Amino acid sequence: MADSKGGQAGVAARTTMIDVANAAGVSFKTVSRVLNGEAYVRESTRGKVLEAARSLDYQFNHAARSLRSGSAQIVSLLTGNQSRAYTQSVHLGALQQCQQAGVHVVVESAAADIEVNIEALERSLLETAPMGVVVTPPLCDNAEIIALLERHHFRYVLISPVAPGPGTPHVGMDDEAAAREMTALLIGLGHRQIGFIQGDPDDPASSLRRRGYLSALADAHIAAEDTLVVSGRFDWDSGLVAADRLLDLDDPPSAIFAANDDMAAAVIAAAYRRDMRVPGDLSVAGFGDTSVASVISPQLTTVYQPIVDMVSEAVRILTGVISGADVEVTQMTLPYRLVERGSTGKC
């Protein structure tokens, strides 16, 4: 009775900018300004609006925005030449979060030969006018791409960059710590002669993992031997070649740690071809916990890498203009996890 305005009793009407404006004592236009991160809003006003939005549990209406603004919000996904499993995970993470934010995903895949395509990329980005760009490995460590993004003032978040500049928004995991921990696990099993297969020697992620490997050896006072570190290119074939190099050594390793699962799978294949048993004669560890890890024999001991979540968080940073926090969090390190399966055993 007290409230005789329209609206059905019991049905909570959606909270709109107008409600937030009333609660904050400003016009709804000001609410719009704050929520869109526009300049020229007094700091105290901004605080009141954010506080009101939070206490009313205000949900932004993306449909209304895109109807009025006449253009869909877009997040661009810059992907390089990773494995199929990796790329699928990246797409999934982006799509999941974007659909929730009412944002569209546009995939810009850059081939290996960046130099040739950088102009096409620039044109496409300018045309698409994304509200943000997610840059995945190995592109996230490409100075030319970062420079391009900076030049045009695109907002962006890097996934798993090795050397992000100070303040550069990024989401990743601690590759070095993960590799160190995995190496320590092997050492704990009694292995002293541990081989490491990296990706391209100058691949950023790969070098972090190698660093972790070396530091675990140092921690255990095991001398690192150059011959025990060989290079692949992250694919299965190169992993096979690398494994053979290690197993052909005069003093071959009793355990091999590969910088990704595909190469680790190849190590197991190489062992079988030599009638070596895994883990009886050779322990094998991978990195990534991709789907291959659980469908090879024996199943692979590896590091779970939260790719879907990393990309998801990156999109959240890009799309989440309304954050309660005073300082927006734009750098995150997500937890990894060691997954011990059948491919590793005591020495």
Interacting residues toward DNA by CB under 7 A: 13-14, 16-18, 26-30, 32-33, 35-36, 39-42, 45, 58-61, 64-65, 67-70
Tokens representing residue 54 in the block: 């939070």
Min separation Cβ 92 and a copy of itself, Å: 6
Considering only residues 111-140, where is the footprint of a copy of itself by CB under 8 A?
none
Going by C-beta distance under 8 Å and a sequence separation of 6 or more, which residues neighbour residue 230?
A: 195, 196, 197, 198, 242, 245, 246
Tokens representing residue 35 in the block: 């929520």
Strand bridging mode 331-333 / 283-285? unpaired
Q: Would you say 21 and 27 are in contact if contact means Cβ atoms under 8 Å apart?
A: yes
User: Mask 278-317, x = binds a copy of itself (CB under 8 A)?
Assistant: ------------xxx-xxxx-x------------------
Please identify, among the stretches 47-55, 87-95, 151-159, 195-203, the one whose residues bind a copy of itself according to the rule CB under 8 A. Answer: 87-95
Min separation Cβ 45 and a copy of itself, Å: 27
Min separation Cβ 17 and a copy of itself, Å: 13
Min separation Cβ 61 and a copy of itself, Å: 7
Q: Would you say 266 and 195 are in contact if contact means Cβ atoms under 8 Å apart?
A: no
Round to whole Å and give the CA distance between 15 and 60: 9
Helix (H, G, I), strand (E, B) or coil at 30: helix
Answer yes or no whether residue 39 interacts with a copy of itself by CB under 8 A: no
For a copy of itself, which is the closer residue by CB, 146 or 243?
243
Provide the 8-state DSSP code for 158.
Answer: E
| Contact partner at residue 297 from a copy of itself, DNA, none, CB < 5 to 8 Å by partner kind | a copy of itself
Task: Please state, as a whole number, how many other Cβ atoms lie within 10 Å of the Cβ of residue 65.
Answer: 16
Count of alpha carbons within 13 angstroms of residue 223, beta-carbon side: 3
Count of alpha carbons within 13 angstroms of residue 125, beta-carbon side: 28
Please identify, among the stretches 94-102, 135-143, 247-255, 311-319, the one whose residues bind a copy of itself according to the rule CB under 8 A. Answer: 94-102
Return residues touching a copy of itself (CB under 8 A): 14, 61-64, 66-67, 70, 72, 83-85, 88-89, 91-92, 95-96, 98-100, 104-105, 236, 240, 261-262, 265-266, 269, 272-273, 275, 290-292, 294-297, 299
